[in-house]
Structure formats: structure tokens, C-alpha cells
Structure 1
């Protein structure tokens, strides 16, 4: 069966999936959690094969960290399922109820999107999170994970799919795409797939966007910034930037560029550079920033010294223990830099001046704008969404971590008693528009 045929079946079953009660969907999730725990040995064995292959193929350490699925990752995803079950049902929510005229009532009601294709990076825990979100929101899901975790993904998918179907989901609730050529086949399924969510490199996301008629939601790069203002508290600033850069360097919400106000650069930069280097972070920055740090170290030839870069290098997503550094004249220059070089993902200002913070948060055009906290908080689980299918940097439909609300749309339901438009067009009747 090719992708066109498979997604056509899913489209037909998507209406059945959308009609499942909240109790049924939550019950499926309960059984999925239990099944994952019951089959953990098979899942860990599959992951061991992927990890061995990654070692043999010289996969980068930052990527291998994503590939690993162990007791800790299992606990994370099962806890996420627990939180998801507790969340209110996103389906069937009445968002608007308005009486247009007596006996003519309009409702706007949330409903699942339908069939969603998610193409995600080599992170097996993402498969669990995405599947769970789609079940909770009543959507059917086509899942395409990275080839580096093919064994783990198959083991996880088999457990989740069989459990879902055994507990009331239609057979077309999920489909796993395992071959690379199936991505191109999926892109042509615009009659049966309602939305694509690609997660990966900028080039990959752009390829998806340019080669399909299916609506695409997602983000390409995660070039996040932390700006240290002249009114920053250094005792807050150092732990924030350390966490934002090193807590999980391979994540799209890790800070890639540090901006520092000129008035505090000589005080802040050497202290921050010392703290970052203790955590193994390599610094790259402007000649001005390098001069301040190297002068403070009194060792211009230090192997840990800053590599000097130009403005064009500030659009790099490292996903590694590397950080760009630049001195700016004021908050306005920081805002301009972020809006020009950033990816509109997540950016933070460290300052005790709330007026400056308010200006930054108003003018920085990103899905997440923070004051005095790590950019690593940009995550569906940490937002209380249970999990996320990805981060969206677009401004239409969903923005930021995409949880349950981002996986539903709405329909208008109009309840009448024989009304016809001609009566209103000719003036026999008039609308009175009363919100109920």
C-alpha cells in the first residue's frame, strides 16, 4: 500500500477518531502508558541497537544524547502522559455562542484538525509525545522519525498503535513512515493530509514548505538570544546563561547568542566567560568582545580565547557548546539584532528594569520573550501543555510550543427554526446579535 492509499484510509478514519469521547481517548492514554512500561525491555533493547549504530557511524555526542531512550526518558514520557490525561478536553469546547435572532443560535466549537503528518528529528521520546497529543486531541497521525532511531521508533510505535486500536481507536489512527522516499510521497497527499509539522534543519523545513500544497506549521532554526541589560543582576545573569546554553545544548531553545550592554560589558563579560568556560563552552564573538575577555584573562594566546567573527556569523544555530558574543549600545540595538539575526523562536532579557523589559518583550518579534529566566523553558511540558508536537514560529493558527490547543481548529454550528436569508435581506426581520 502506498502513502496515497494509506492516508486516504486515515482520512476516512479521522472522522471516527474525532468522534471518540474524552473518556475513550483518556482511557487509551492510560493503557498506552502501562504498555510502554510493560514493554520497556524490548524498547531499551531496540534503542541499544540504535546507539551502537550511532557509535559505529561516528554520530556527534549532541545527537547521541537525543537518541538515547532509557529509564529516565521513559519516566519523562510516561509522566507527560499522566499530565496530558489531566488536561481539559480540547475537543468540543464552545468558544462562542451568539443569538443572531430569536431562535437562530450560532456556536463556534473546537474540533480536531484531522490527519496530521509529523516529520521529526532522531528523538524517540518525541514519537511518544506526538502520538499522545494526537490521541488526546482526536487527530490521526502520520509519524516519520529520524533514521538514526529506526529500531526504537518501531518498537515504540508498535506498542502505542496496537494499544490504541485495542482500546477503541480506529485502525487508521496512526501510520509510521519508515522510508525516506515516503516523505516525498507524503508531500503529495494534499487531499488526505490536513497539516504537516516538520522538525529539523532550516534547509529541510524549507524543502517541505516548497514542495507541498499541504499547510505547513513549524520552525526551521532555533537561534535564541539572551541579552544582558545594563540593569541586570549578575548573580541572576550567570546561572541563567549557563542553563540556557549548557542544560541541553542540542535543543532548539538553547541560547546561541549572548548580547551584553556596553555599560556593563567590562564587568560582566569576563565573569561570564570564566563561568561558561568552566562548563566547556567555546566562545565566538566580535573583536571588541574578544578584547575585553582576553585582556581580563591576560593571555591573548589562550586556547580558550574567543574566535573573532563578523556580523554574518550571528545567524548560526550551533546545537553545541559554542556561544556567539556581541556588545550592544542599548536595548534598542539588542532588539534590532535579535529581530534581524534571530529565528523568532525564544529570546530573553536579563534586567531589573521592568520598563526596559516591557519594551524588549513588546518589540522582539519572537514566539517566546522572557525576562530573567532561561530560554530552555520554551517547551510544551514546562508550559503545562503535557507535551508538544513542536515549536511554531509562524503567526497563524499556533505559535510557540504547540500543545493540544494547536492541534484543534473549529467549526461553526448554526441552529435555526426555518429561518431564511431573504427575510433579512428584504427587511422583514433583523439581526440582534446577542452573546449568550
Structure 2
């Protein structure tokens, strides 16, 4: 269907109608569609990368003119080593996953010949709005088709995966709450906030990826350095890169200096509070010490998406342990994306894992592991910091909901009413898939 000939309402209605057809397709047909997408993208790799190179060139000019951020430019580039192949592999990984539809999660005998089931089903119509993330087209198309959902994207001409080329159509699409079931924004925090403020449709996603690592007093130094370096320099423009390093006061002069030295050697700018800066000034070489910067309070609420790391000292008080102070700081400043503790203490780690209210909470590993592919989801539509329905990397399961099915034999509600009415059995039955 050509978008130029259709209004936003017609686009949404068409997607709503086709979503019911997709939901009824057998998994073999949905997998065949993924095979076709993978083959086409592999066959036309050179064409796609040539077009992407032109986009990157244009975006680079916008960066030079101050109209676009460097982080968005990095996300736009499909030629980054391994990125295109990862995109293709993601499609195959999704194809290989178990069918998410028709899974029974509850069976209850209400009465003889009256059985209740809770069964997974597609959400319906997804509206995907993204900035500078070309791989999103393949990722979300694969997940949408496999999960039986229709999707409206910016760059895919099909009745089920429709083409939206103009920003002018976004606001009217956001008004189609009668036909569109979920909006998934992928882009800057400004984009996400704009979408949340301009639609009644549920929004799945996150505005910021403000991730923190807490360096506990008994952390292993070499392990901590390895994890922190990965979390900051592996891909600084990613939403799961660490932005704040919280350091226990007792290790400012022991564990922190070699970590800071390694970060500085990799070009990371350290914005330190007064205590951590003083400790590092005394421990580092004069050349490295001059690179340290003073942190402001706003730095602990900033997603830098760059080689910048805010450092803050965590000190115990008479009424609170350093662990409690660290958790309080994270819960107050975190975007509830992914937060990490580095410690040798299982007790401290378990308290942290329970006490930090984020979609991902890790012990002794990098925040960069917050990723649908790394979780074994094939790929993801994004990372959600919501607390309803889906949280964290959202894969197939996050794109399904459920319905309740009852198979009866003529029963009515009136039969179970009154003192002389029948009693429900409410007997748990074995669960068997499809």
C-alpha cells in the first residue's frame, strides 16, 4: 500500500486489519517471511551500505554544523565492523526461537465441562518511530512478524510493515489510539519525551540510559577495572554504557587510581567530586592529574553518550552504610535502565540486586550486557524502563500479551449465584502447550 495515497487513519486501519491475519498465520509461514527478509538483505548488502554511506556523509555535515550529535552519527553508521552481520544474524536468531503465540500459562477447571485458559497472543499494531537507527528496521520487522504483530515503521513498504517517510505524519499517527496498540520509540530522549507527551497510546521504551556502577569496598581490583573499561569504552554511544561511577570512600586511594589511569589512557574524561579528585591528584602522574575535571551535580543526571564519566564518592553515615547510600543515589538519579555493583561480598550483592529499582541490576559484570541479543532474545525492539507489561530488553515475549479463553458446555453465571447456587471448583489443571 502506498503511504502517499493514504491518510494516517487509513494506514492505521489497514495495519489493524492485517494484524488479525498475521496473528492467525502458522509459525512456518512467519518463519518463511523472516528467511525472505534475511536473504534480500544479504543479497543487497552493497546497495544498502552504499545508501547508508550517503546518509552518514550527510549526517557528518550536520554534526560539523552543530545540528546533530556525534552519538547519533555513530548509531547511524551500518558499516561499523560487524554491525551489518549482527543485524542479519539477529533475523536468523529470531527465526530460530520458539513460537511465542499460543502458549498456555494457566489452566483452571471452573466446573465440569468449563475450563479457563490464559493463552499468549500478539499485541496487535506497533508504531515504531526511530532516529538514526537503520538496523531497527530489520530487528523490529523480524520480531513483529514472528510475534504476529503488524508494525508501522519509517522505511518498510508493506501493508503489515508500512512506509512512513515524513515527520508530518507522526502526530496524526500518534492520535490513532483506536487502531494502534503500542508505540515503540527508538532515538533521543527528546524524541521519547515528545512521543509520550503527544499520544494516548501506551509507549514502550526509555528516554535515558543513565547507568551507574558502584565500586564496593571489597571489589576485586583487576576484575573491576576490566568491567568498568568495557562498560565505558566498548561503545560509549550506547544506552547501556556506564555514565556514573560510584566509589566507596575506603578505596579512593587503592582501587580507584589504576581504574582511573586506564580510563584516562583510553581518552575518557573523568568528572570527579572533590574527594575522588583529591585522591586521584595524589595518586596519578602530574600529566594525568591535569586531565581531571570537577563534577557538577547535573553530571550525575546526565547521559553523556561519549567518553565522559562522572565519579562520585560514597561515604557511610552514622545511620546508613555506604551500600545503602549507593543504592539511594542510584534510585534517585538512575533512569532505571541498568545498574551494577562490583563486590566480592554475596551478601552486599544480593542486597543491591533487590534494593535497586532498575530494569537490569547486575553483580560483577558490565552494563553493556543489557541487550536482547546477548540475553538470547534474537534481537530486541528496545529496552523498556516501564514497570507494566515489559521491562528490560524487549524481545518476542515482550511483544505478546495474553487472552483468557473459556470452553464451556452451556453454563451461565446465574447457576453459581445465591445460597443454593453451584460452587466453582477452581481446580488447577496441568498446562500443556498448544
Mapped contact 2:174–2:199 kept (Cα < 8 A): yes
* Residue in structure 1 matching 2:264, options 272, 277, 283: 277
2:270 and 2:205 mapped to 1: Cα distance? 29
| Counterpart residue number, 1:33 | 38
* Residue in structure 2 matching 1:141, options 151, 175, 178: 151
1:66 and 1:207 mapped to 2: Cα distance? 20
| Counterpart residue number, 1:151 | none
1:300 and 1:385 mapped to 2: Cα distance? 45
Mapped contact 1:244–1:254 kept (Cα < 8 A): yes
DSSP-derived class of the 2:376 partner: coil
1:394 and 1:271 mapped to 2: Cα distance? 37
- CA-atom RMSD in angstroms: 1.5
Structure-to-structure mapping, 1:410-421, within 5 angstroms? 410-421=402-413
DSSP-derived class of the 2:380 partner: coil
1:239 and 1:120 mapped to 2: Cα distance? 33
Query: CA 1:185–1:249 in 2, change beyond 3 Å: closer, same or farther?
Result: same
Structure-to-structure mapping, 1:66-215, within 5 angstroms? 66-70=75-79, 72-144=82-154, 154=155, 157=156, 161=158, 172-215=159-202
- After TM superposition, the runs of 4+ consecutive aligned structure 1 residues lying more than 6 A away are none
**Displacement of 1:425 after TM fit?**
0.5
**Displacement of 1:301 after TM fit?**
8.8
Give the stretch that moved more between structures: 260-269 or 353-362: 260-269
Query: CA 1:125–1:287 in 2, change beyond 3 Å: closer, same or farther?
Result: same
TM-score (norm 2): 0.92
1:104 and 1:114 mapped to 2: Cα distance? 28
Mapped contact 2:261–2:288 kept (Cα < 8 A): no
* Residue in structure 1 matching 2:427, options 427, 431, 434: 434
Q: Deviations over 1:299-330 (max 9, x none)?
A: 3895412x212333310000000000011021
Mapped contact 2:108–2:116 kept (Cα < 8 A): yes
DSSP-derived class of the 2:401 partner: strand
From the two aligned structures, give the one with the greater helix fraction. 1
2:222 and 2:288 mapped to 1: Cα distance? 29
TM-score (norm 1): 0.92
Aligned residue pairs total: 412
1:235 and 1:301 mapped to 2: Cα distance? 20
1:84 and 1:130 mapped to 2: Cα distance? 10
| Counterpart residue number, 2:337 | 345
- Is 1:55 paired with 2:60? yes
- Is 1:325 paired with 2:334? no
- Is 1:22 paired with 2:9? no
Mapped contact 2:122–2:400 kept (Cα < 8 A): yes
* Residue in structure 2 matching 1:354, options 341, 346, 370: 346
Mapped contact 1:294–1:300 kept (Cα < 8 A): no
* Residue in structure 2 matching 1:237, options 220, 224, 237: 224
Structure 1, unmatched stretches of 5+, are 145-153, 162-171
- Is 1:313 paired with 2:299? yes
